[in-house]
Amino acid sequence: MTTNNLKTGALLLAISLLAVMIGRYFLGAGGAVIGLLVAFAFQAIGYFNGHKMALRFAHAQPLQAGSLPWLEDATAELSRKAGIPAPQIYLSPDPQPNAFAAGRNPEVAVVCFNEGLLRAMSRREVIAVLAHEIAHIKNRDTLTMTVVAALASFVTMLANFAYFIPAGSDEEGGRNFFVDLALMLVVPIAAMLVQMAISRTREFAADRTAAELMGESEPMVDALLTLERGTSVVASRTAQPAMAHMYIASPLSGGGIATLLSTHPPIAQRVAKLRALAG
């Protein structure tokens, strides 16, 4: 079993335990069973249909055969070098320059480009982004990233239970207001921290693999710098917080504390690592 599969299994187990505890807290012993069943349902959806959900959120449509032959040729060539089947390419109408890959394995994996990326980048840079996404598929990152997107939505839904289920008093053996507040605040933050942990290490590895697939690092460096400029000035119209870690650059960009809590490492660090690799 690969390291990524072990990490995915650990995440699924942790989310299942969280669901059981929250279900028990809200609804008693029966709630623990309900929480476990709902967790299993979300896990199954994330595993089998997570890539379809991501494409639906992005309003993406398949790339029409023959519409961008240079991109189709690059997909076939890079996939051959990576030793994986060529992924289906999708286009999202989102004006922000960005892209993501999704799918539980290379056989069903997809790569989605925002139309804003195709407008903002040269062909050389677009191919570098494609190489990065193919690297995620080759490295088996997409399984974990796709499942985490579904689970991030799930734990946020769990936290929202506190809004709709009336709380009892401690004397009545009911719930505690402070625990409710902690659930509303801590659980979404925990989900975000998981996304950060999943994404930050994988982006460095995918950048490096992309440079290896292309035989040089400068196209990846140029693409990252273009992404940094573009995502800072063009807001995404389709990206969801639960999916933020799947993109090549954070689609929910911002400064200050937002940078510290970003699901992605700073572009400057990624560029520095790539240039060190070239050196």
Structure confidence by residue, pLDDT tens digits, 60-113: 999 999 999 999 999 999 999 999 999 999 999 999 999 999 999 999 999 999
Give mean pLDDT, residues 162-183: 59
- Whole-model pTM? 0.83
> Residue type at 13?
L
Residue 59 structure tokens = 């309003």
Q: Determine what percent of the chain is predicted with pLDDT higher than 90.
A: 50
203 labelled catalytic: no
Contacts with 247 (C-beta within 8 Å, 6 or more apart), sequence order = 98, 99, 100, 239, 264
- d(C-alpha 183, C-alpha 158), whole Å: 8
- Confidence band, pLDDT 50/70/90 cuts, at residue 258: very low
Give the structural domain span for 201.
3-278
Quote the number of domains for the chain.
1
- d(C-alpha 256, C-alpha 96), whole Å: 21
Predicted confidence at residue 171, as pLDDT, reads: 45
- Helix, strand, or coil (residue 62): strand
In Å, how far from its chain's centre is CA 137? 13
Residue 96 structure tokens = 């922000």
Predicted confidence at residue 194, as pLDDT, reads: 65
Out of 72, 107, 133, 228, pick the active-site residue: 133
- Confidence band, pLDDT 50/70/90 cuts, at residue 269: very high
Predicted confidence at residue 191, as pLDDT, reads: 65
Residue 54 structure tokens = 């991501």
Inter-CA distances, 231 with 50, 58, 105, 131, 166, Å: 24, 16, 28, 19, 41
Bigger pLDDT: 200 vs 60: 60
